[in-house]
Structure 1
């Protein structure tokens, strides 16, 4: 296998300013891809762009169809048609179901599910025209099982896995694959905020709250962003063409 199997491929990563998205961006770049980073947080994007000066970076709210269209047009102008799309942008506020507002529900659906829909619609025509493409949706174990106090997030991630499976069948003969990776609790800012929320609501020390999340993994630890990035990168390889419509857990055995 070539050491740069994604050379001359253009990869767009949403939520690319930190955590899992940044790890994916660095991994795909190491495999030869030209990388475009999209995200809402300008400061995080700038920090990651400083680490990857040859990448393209653009502020983009994936819930805004016009913003997505403009960001993709700018990325295509820089690096050419999109060959790889990683839908990584996500949000996971915590609340009991009875206290989950309609505003929170709509926002969680928009970021985790509608954003992936809009970005896939922006990227897919170019992939189909080229006869080659990879769409990888970063879902969650919450797309494969339930968790309490994050009902909107669980519903959105189940929807993202469903979208993955449906779209994979539609494009199966086009040279494009659509898959999902489903990380368990991962050592990112998102989980850090969850730890803070648990500590605030329960009075536990942050380390105890973090340990409780890690305990859901049979390996007794949080997943590392680089481990998720490795799974995403494998799905993007040319020789992974037969893997389509899969939802792959990266969770130490928490789900099968």
Structure 2
């Protein structure tokens, strides 16, 4: 697996933007949306970044935007053996993984009575088992070095609930449970495990949801988006960069803390704020 260093790498990165200097970050689902924003943010902070994607060609744009060393590894994260192979290839290319961001995800909607077992299987495989397998792949070297960060990109749906996405919500709840239990297990070994829980974010998943509403109801796209946000109690859509900054903050913290946190990113002002 080849390793690349962007020609645009700047020698003028400040200390603030070098907080992750020398660290190797592996980001799953890094070719678009939140995953791409996380990869760019960690790269700007000094990390060497492995982009784990299903299609290498679709990662070219993200790779070109990184400011530091990177590699691209390919796997369907729901394929156990392929995922383990990709994690091993990333470690061979850029060294042991210091930061794992389990970001790859997808969402499917259906009323429970129309949700077949296969739908639940897909959601559990993507949002629970893929993070389990990736964590199992990188933890041995983290434990040996007594350092590491694992960040699971969950969802506010993993803390609450919503109609017509029962399978997705159940899988994200499982991801939060994995985060909290694994955090307690490995914190004594210098490894921090946390989750971020974005509300509706400016990704193609939301775009797809809006499109389906438009096709089903004939409403304008702006009205459909407003309806989605209103039902979730959001006044605005969250940006991918907001999620990426939260991930960076967790990865820049000492490995001993925080652990087991589910950081909500919902775009709302704090209580008493404006």
Q: TM-score, normalised by structure 1?
A: 0.94
Shift in Å at residue 158 of structure 1? Answer: 0.2
Shift in Å at residue 189 of structure 1? Answer: 0.7
Equivalent residues, number: 256
Residues 1:125 and 2:146 are matched in the alignment: no
What CA deviation, in whole Å up to 9, does each residue of 1:124-148 have, x standing for no partner? 1111111110000000000000111
8 A contact 1:216–1:254 mirrored in 2: no
| 59-68 vs 34-43, greater mean Cα deviation | 34-43
> Equivalent residue for 2:150?
135
Pick aligned residue for 2:176 from 161, 184, 190:
161
Structure 1 runs (4+) deviating above 3 angstroms are 216-219, 238-241, 253-256
8 A contact 2:33–2:203 mirrored in 1: yes
**SS at the partner of 1:95?**
coil
| 54-63 vs 212-221, greater mean Cα deviation | 212-221
What CA deviation, in whole Å up to 9, does each residue of 1:32-74 have, x standing for no partner? 1000011224442222223238321122111111111111111
**SS at the partner of 2:31?**
coil
> Equivalent residue for 1:198?
213
| 152-161 vs 39-48, greater mean Cα deviation | 39-48
Pick aligned residue for 2:203 from 177, 188, 196:
188
- Which 5+ residue runs of structure 2 have no aligned equivalent? 1-13
Shift in Å at residue 210 of structure 1? Answer: 1.1
**SS at the partner of 1:249?**
strand
Residues 1:44 and 2:58 are matched in the alignment: yes
> Equivalent residue for 2:10?
none
Between the aligned partners of 2:86 and 2:140, the Cα distance in structure 1 is 16
Between the aligned partners of 1:90 and 1:194, the Cα distance in structure 2 is 15
Residues 1:114 and 2:129 are matched in the alignment: yes
> Equivalent residue for 1:207?
222
Distance 1:254 1:182, change over 3 A: farther
Larger radius of gyration: 2
Q: TM-score, normalised by structure 2?
A: 0.88
Shift in Å at residue 200 of structure 1? Answer: 2.0
Distance 1:132 1:158, change over 3 A: same
**SS at the partner of 2:200?**
coil
| 90-99 vs 163-172, greater mean Cα deviation | 90-99
CA RMSD of aligned residues (A): 1.9
For residues 6-21 of structure 1, what are the structure 2 equivalents within 5 Å? 6-21=20-35
Residues 1:252 and 2:264 are matched in the alignment: no
> Equivalent residue for 1:26?
40
